[in-house]
Amino acid sequence: MTKNNRLEGRVAVVTGAAAGIGRAPAELFAEEGARVVLADIAGESVERVAARIRDSGESAVAVVA
């Protein structure tokens, strides 16, 4: 991911972040420098997305809700 820093210092909370329409903005917010909180009912899937974001050097936390 390429970090652009436009959202540095901000936190983005994204629901439905395990796939599709929730995952895409979560990844974009992270690319822009936001710390991302990913919420979804699909525990394993949302944790995989958070791990992928963290592996790219960004900050992400998964919450099963």
Would you kindly state where each structural domain of the chain is located, as residue ranges? 11-64
pLDDT at 42: 97
Tell whether the model's pLDDT for residue 3 goes beyond 70.
no
Contact 40, 17 (CB under 8 A): yes
Contact 48, 60 (CB under 8 A): no
Torsion sign (Cα): 28, 14, 45, 20: negative
In this structure, which CATH number among 3.20.20.70, 3.40.50.720, 3.30.590.10, 3.20.10.10 belongs to the domain 11-64? 3.40.50.720
Angstrom distance (rounded) from CA 27 to CA 32: 9
pTM: 0.91
- pLDDT per residue over 34-59, tens digit each? 999 999 999 999 999 999 999 999 99
